[in-house]
Amino acid sequence: MFTGIVTDIGRVASVAETRNLRRIRIESGFDPAGIALGASIACSGPCLTVVAVGPHAGGAWFEVDAAAETIARTTVCDWGEGTRLNLERSLRIGDELGGHIVTGHVDGVAEIVRRVEMTPGDAGPWGPTARFDVRAPVGLSRFVAEKGSVCLDGTSLTVNSVEDDVFSVLIIPHTLAVTTWGDRKAGDRLNLEVDLMARYAARLAEARA
């Protein structure tokens, strides 16, 4: 379980292909002593299991395996050497729940329709702010509600507005600086996990109907 609060930006160092798996090595600033084999790390959304780990300059490298289902339903298929990833370690008892409850089980891939920058005069002393219009994949837009929570590429965000299958999120200067959102542009694909409570509420409504 995660919160959608990114704690590091990792970098894909290598990708090895087999018939059924992709083994991905990721370099991070995490302490290698704190990463156990079998640990869960959210990598730009998907919860992936650590299968190897070792020290790296200033931090650690770790390897994860992505199977066919993950490759088919997420952007893992797009990752290559140099891809930057939002990383979050799994929650521990007593940790602050700063975002919202995130499982790391990606529901589908969304697409950025438009990025709108704040004008320099409106940006303020803390840096620029950007609004992103995002198109939800077929069948998932019904789970996205105005002022509700959504997880995009492992980041917990509040939905500003919804119109049909397009919703908007506002990214503050801090988030632009400490996540991969600063690099995002129209046409980019994002891992989308809808709010857990919205999913269960919809399922209960369907069952009653």
- So which residues are the catalytic ones? 2, 40, 47, 49, 67, 105, 158
Whole-angstrom CA distances from 54 to 33, 58, 64, 132, 194 are 9, 12, 13, 37, 33
φ, ψ of residue 141 in degrees (nearest 5): -65, -25
Whether the CB-CB separation of 122 and 176 falls below 8 Å is answered with no
**Alpha carbons 54 and 56: distance in angstroms, whole number:** 7
**Alpha carbons 4 and 104: distance in angstroms, whole number:** 9
**Alpha carbons 25 and 187: distance in angstroms, whole number:** 26
Region at 151 (left for phi over 0; alpha for psi -120 to 50; beta for the rest): beta
